[in-house]
Every structure is written in C-alpha cells, then in structure tokens.
Amino acid sequence: MNDSSNDSPAGSLAGTFAERLIAWQAEHGRHDLPWQNTRDAYRIWLSEIMLQQTQVATVIPYYTRFLERFPDVAALASAPQDDVMALWSGLGYYSRARNLHRCAQVVVAEHGGRFPSDPETLATLPGIGRSTAAAIAAFAYDAHAAILDGNVKRVLARVFGIEGFPGTPKIEREMWALAESLLPRSDLPAYTQGMMDLGATLCGRGKPRCGECPFDSDCVAHATGRERVLPTSKPRKAQPERYVDVLVIRSGGRVLFERRPDSGIWGGLWSLPELTPPTGEREADDASLRERLTAHAAALGATQGAVQSLVPLHGLTHVFTHFRLHLRPWLVTLSGPSTTTQSTGSQRAWLDAAGVAAAGLPSPIRKIADALSIVSPGDGQLCLPA
C-alpha cells in the first residue's frame, strides 16, 4: 500500500476523500432505491441482508413483497419459518433467510423490538457482520462506523493501490484501518451511500468508468493502468464437483417433498428426496444404481404402493460459490391410489400443485418442478426425458 502520511499524494487524497465522495454522491449517486429515504432500522437491515451477494434489481421485488407480508420486525419474528423461506425462495444463500428470522426474534425478545444503535451490539445479532452492522448504524442512527463489503474493497484497492487478495486477514486488516481513517465527522449516511454507489456504478468489476469518477486524477489503479488487476484476485483452486440423484416420486397428482435440515445447503427449504453417490463421483446409470434408486423410492413411497416405473430425466447443473452441483432427476411412478392427501409429518409431505407453488424450493428444484409440470394439476404433461 502507498504511504498515506498527509504529505504524500495518498495522504492528501485521504484528507479530501470523504468530502469529494459526498459531493459526488449528492449529484450522481442513487437516491430513490426503495430502502433509501428512511431511518427505519428494520427496513434498512432487511435491505442490507438481501443485498449481500445479490444485485439491486433482483432484490427490489423481494424487498417489496417482504415488507407487504412483514411490515415490521414483530411481524417477521412471529411468522412461521416456512413462510419466511417461501418468500425468500429464489434469492439464494438461504442461511441469510434463517438468520434474518432468528435476528428478528432476538431483536423482539432481547431489545424490545428496536434494533440497537451501536454497531458492536448490532454485529452480535444473527446474520449481521461488522460491515452490515456499520451500514445499518450509519443509515439509521448516523453512527461513525465504516463499511467494508466487496464493492468498498474494490474501490479502496484501486484508489489507494492496495496489492494482495482482500480476503486474506492481513490485507483485510489494512483495509479496515484505511476505511476507518477515511470516515468524515458528519454526513455518515451520504458518505456510506457514496461508497456503495461508487463501487456499484462507476467502479464495477468489469470496465470502470474512470472518466466520470471523482478520484480519476488520484486513483493509483487508473494512473498506472491497473484497473483490471486491482483488487488482486483470489488464488485459483479447482472447483469441486458434486453429484446427486433426485427422485420425483409421484402419486395421485402429488409429489413427495422433504424438508432439508437447517444446516447445509438449502437448509430449511423443501426439496426432492435424493440419493448421493457413495464415492462422491457420478455413478454410471446401470442396473445397480437403478436398483438402489428403486429401493429408496419404494421405502419413501411405501404407503402409496409399489414402484411402477423409474425414468431418467435430463440433468442440470447448479453453480454454488464453492462447488458445482450436478443434479440427475428420476421420475418415479407409484401404483398407489389415484388421490393422495396425507402429509407424512413435518419433514415430508405429498404436495399438490398449489403446495408446490407455495413451498420454499431451491431454484434448481423449482426448475425441475416447472419443467415436469409438477405444479400443473394434470398428469401426462412431462417433458425433459433423458
């Protein structure tokens, strides 16, 4: 990192950084997002959690629906987890939704339904990290606290020429210290919004629009032609591949779903029953695999009769941050009654079209459901056979 004493170019930049950012934000920043122009910590918190790892355009309809259904923290705290997961369905990173629900319950139970104003206390709540706590505290309560999300790290790395992957503890510590040293004495909401806006609009990951940037005359990355190189990328590792066979077990116009455990991927969502290959490798579609799938389906659907057929369908791949998941769906038809109504307890349920439409499903499972017309009341509308 460059020397940031006040006599150096970086030092003089640091001295005017906040003022220039606030002036730029006032003229060119975003002012009309649905979660702006409020000091309501509940609304600010909700938007901040949704915006973690998700783009503004995707978040807006979810944010609006959430507020319609849960207008305040008490409404969210008292809602069943299934309702929260169903409204979150499609936004991804589902631990955010579980933490959101838990956090609302803690705010109601331990803080009288009011979000704490101090960033350190906020950061003790479920799902709220240091940067999110600072954003909530700055927007809702004018707190003197620095944010440091991915966008801010990119801006700081470029403007101040910080080398090294920002995910390493050493670089992250350096960036926190810099972010805190840059904070203005007042106008924290405008400054915080400016940091977010600069990273999200001008100084994006792709081609930054340096000509419009308030720091183009001082930015180290721009001056040295390293906009594409900074921030330093994460050292590359091969992405692991995982495989799973999922069963679409149908009986009487309903499909069997299982609720996933709270921990692990898609925790708390409803999904199709699955069989993971014992070796971790993709298994060949042979007689032994079909025997095991049939036995698993038969055990799960025992109350609905015997397995009549097992048909492989086109697979799909879902990319997570840390691995790629290959799903291979199988359509299982049971010889059971023409109607199936029973639920099999809180962890398994035979869902009809309306039940599938209302359930919180992970997006690849929703794709399978849609492609197979599971949500359509009639049978015989299947597509995607392998």
Active site residues: 48
The conformation of residue 345, written as its DSSP 8-state character, comes to S
Q: Per CB under 6 A, does 216 bind ligand SF4?
A: yes
- Give the residue with the Cβ less far from ligand SF4, 172 or 216: 216
CA 262 to chain centre: 16
Q: Which helix (H) or strand (E) holds 319?
A: strand 316-319
Positions in 139-198 near ligand SF4 (CB under 6 A): 155, 158-159
Amino acid sitting at position 337: P
The nearest distance, CB 138 to ligand SF4, in angstroms, is 21
Residue from 56, 60, 210, 382 that binds ligand SF4 (CB under 6 A)? Answer: 210
List Cβ neighbours of 242 (8 Å cut-off, separation of 6 or more): 280, 323, 324, 325, 326
Q: Does 213 bind ligand SF4 (CB under 6 A)?
A: yes
Q: Note whether 84 and 101 are within 8 A (CB).
A: yes
> Shortest approach of ligand SF4 to residue 227 CB, angstroms?
4
Q: Which tokens is 104 given?
A: 């609302």
User: Which span sits near ligand SF4 by CB under 6 A: 2-10, 54-62, 204-212, 263-271?
Assistant: 204-212
Residue 240 CB, nearest approach to ligand SF4 (Å):
33
CA gap 234, 274 in Å, rounded? 33
Cα–Cα distances (Å) from 204 to 34, 155, 225, 324, in that order, read: 22, 9, 15, 25
Q: Which residues contact 285 (CB under 8 A, 6 or more apart)?
A: 312
| Helix residue spans in 94-219 (DSSP H) | 95-111, 119-122, 130-141, 150-159, 169-182, 188-197
* Minimum CB distance to ligand SF4, residue 209 (Å): 6
Contact region with ligand SF4 (CB under 6 A), list: 17-25, 31-39, 50-58, 221-229: 221-229
The residue type of 148 is: L
Q: Does 221 bind ligand SF4 (CB under 6 A)?
A: yes
Q: How many residues bind ligand SF4 (CB under 6 A)?
A: 15
* Closer residue to ligand SF4 (CB): 190 or 213: 213
Report if residue 215 touches ligand SF4, rule: CB under 6 A. Answer: yes
* Closest CB to ligand SF4 among residues 121, 201: 201
- Residue 231 near ligand SF4 by CB under 6 A: no
Q: Which residues bind ligand SF4 (CB under 6 A)?
A: 155, 158-159, 202-203, 208-210, 213, 215-216, 219, 221-222, 227
